[in-house]
Amino acid sequence: MTLDRFYPIFDDPIWLERALPLGVRLVQMRIKDRDAHELRAMLQRSRDLCRASGATLVVNDHWQLAIDLGIDWVHLGQEDLDGADIAAIRRAGIRLGLSTHEEAELDRALALAPDYVALGPVWPTILKRMKWHSQGLERVSEWKLRIGAVPLVAIGGLSVARAPEAFAAGADIVSAVTDITLNPDPDARLRDWLEATR
């Protein structure tokens, strides 16, 4: 299965109502700090919206809900991996994307035969405080050499202008969050992203 080259990340299905009609085909829902009932409802809504438009939905962290709701993809960070039942995820036929930031994490990820590997932050990011300032494009190229045919997602500080650089360095997919969600015209920015990655 070939994944789209543009991978926005959102925290509310309201964003999907904007992004999917514009042509977004791969999206992650990263929902934090909601109670169990609200979280389930939001992921169910996201699943239904993505199914209706033929888009691939990836659920960040909440692998048990993904199994319950019949969602095909889960993304796990390194901390999420500690408590995740990878065997249960795989038994459910769910595909797996994993975050990496350093060699040891990449080794750990590759041992689990992921369906994609994410590397970040490639450039400095305002999204969350991390001990990794920025990985740089050389690291993107290194990672691609290491992972071979596994799709590589570049994340962190990405912009439309930087997308070609990330692709040239070896990324298969580029991911963006605040470049869209904090933009004064998110719809126009989404269109720019789609143009730059298709």
Q: 110 or 135: whose pLDDT is higher?
A: 110
Q: What's 6-197's CATH class?
A: alpha beta
- Domain boundaries defined on the chain: 6-197
Q: What pTM does this model have?
A: 0.96
Half-sphere exposure of 165 (CA within 13 A, CB side): 13
Q: Which of 159, 152, 162, 196 is nearest to 177 (CA)?
A: 159
Average pLDDT over the chain, rounded to an integer? 95
What is the 3 state secondary structure string of the chain?
A: CCCCCEEEEECCHHHHHHHHHHCCCEEEECCCCCCHHHHHHHHHHHHHHHHHHCCEEEEECCHHHHHHHCCCEEEECHHHHHHCCHHHHHHCCCEEEEEECCHHHHHHHHHCCCCEEEECCCCCCCCCCCCCCCCCHHHHHHHHHHHCCCCEEECCCCCCCCHHHHHHHCCCEEEECHHHHCCCCHHHHHHHHHHHHC
**How far is Cα 39 from Cα 30, in angstroms, rounded to an integer?**
10
pLDDT tens-digit readout, 122-156 = 998 766 565 667 889 999 999 999 999 999 999 99
Mean pLDDT of 117-122: 96
Longest alpha-carbon distance in the chain: 43
Residue 94 pLDDT class (50, 70, 90 cuts): very high
Return the structure tokens found at 43.
């992921």
pLDDT value for 134:
86
pLDDT tens-digit readout, 25-63 = 999 999 999 999 999 999 999 999 999 999 999 999 999
- The single residue listed with the structure tokens 């459910």 is 92
pLDDT tens-digit readout, 60-91 = 999 999 999 999 999 999 999 999 999 999 99
